[in-house]
Amino acid sequence: MTVTIDSALRAMTDDSAFRVMAVNTTQTVKDALERQAPSGVTRKAFGDLITGAVLVRETMAPNQRVQAILKRRQHTGSLVADSHPTEGTRGLVSLPASEPQFPLTDAILQVMRRLHDGRVHQGMIDVPNGGDVSDALRVYMQVSEQVDTLVGVTTLFDGDQVTRAGGYLIQLLPGVGRAPLAFMEERLREFGNIDLQLAKGEGLPRELIAELLSEIPYTELGDSPLKFGCWCSAERLLSALSTLPKADIDDFVAKGEVLEISCDYCHRQYRIPPAKLVGLQVES
């Protein structure tokens, strides 16, 4: 059995016109899908969103947390991808039982990332009519980050099993004219559908950059490992419980039962004994 090692690879064209990011997120997406178990069209949208959040973080805020959220205007529910620089990337599918599918019609993409000074940068755009997650990410980068960017993400399936997941992001660097961007757009038309490219081989992300920049001199700048991860813990759970009204905490303590709570992201089970809740009574 082949174990997929997810990673991100950064490069820059030798003429300093573009920076390029390619990622292999196959195992990360597999793990997120296994825990959330969406069905139908939601599976691909969720997988693509996971990859998109990783690309945005690795490109715009490699040392900061990034959240990417898909919502629909006239419907409840959302898809969330949450990418952390050290803890890993996780996701959450929150859909009502009456609407278990998440088509990208009338949808909104919201991206939040923390800046170095602690402030949160937030952008929200409409998913283009008839577009996919790649299209939404391209519009987000243009409108909210104000950077000319070409993006492609995908999740490939064999039946219910993820076979490949990954993507690329190409950014026009500041001070470069628009002519190189037009050239790169034409190059990507020759490159073709990312689904076909990802289905070719095992060399993500290095082979993907080589294909994207065929005959264009470039230099690899570095790579970083990627993984699924959830940073839930008993301590964080207790911190969240401490924000409840004192009457609610008193009620839990009076029942004298072990409080069983499951993490929505990874489904890890936590058992909080009454003695721990007594301590929260004092704090609250």
pLDDT of residue 201: 66
Give domain limits for the chain: 7-225, 234-283
pLDDT of residue 242: 82
How many angstroms separate the CA atoms of 75 and 73, rounded? Answer: 6
Identify the pLDDT of residue 1. Answer: 39
- Asked if 7-225 and 234-283 have one fold, the answer is no
Query: How many angstroms separate the CA atoms of 22 and 204, rounded?
Result: 8
Which amino acid makes up residue 84?
Answer: H
Domain 7-225 has CATH 3.30.300.30: no
58 burial type by CB count under 10 A (0-12 exposed, 13-18 middle, 19+ buried): buried
3-state secondary structure of 255: helix
Q: Is 124 helix (H, G, I), strand (E, B) or coil?
A: strand
Extract the runs of DSSP E, i.e. beta strands, from 87-210: 88-94, 107-114, 120-126, 149-158, 161-172
Question: How far is it, in rounded angstroms, from Cα 157 to Cα 173?
Answer: 34
Find the distance separating the first CA and the last CA of the chain, reported in whole Å: 51
Per-residue pLDDT tens, the chain, 284 aa: give them: 345 689 999 999 999 999 999 999 999 999 999 999 999 999 999 999 999 999 999 999 999 999 999 999 888 899 999 999 999 999 999 999 888 899 999 999 999 998 878 888 999 999 999 999 999 999 999 999 999 999 999 999 999 899 999 999 999 998 888 888 888 888 888 888 899 888 876 568 999 999 999 889 999 999 999 999 999 998 898 888 888 888 888 888 888 888 899 999 999 999 988 888 776 655 54
pTM, two decimals, is: 0.92
Fold (CATH) for 234-283: CBS domain Like (3.90.1280)
Ramachandran angles phi, psi of 110, nearest 5°: -120, 130
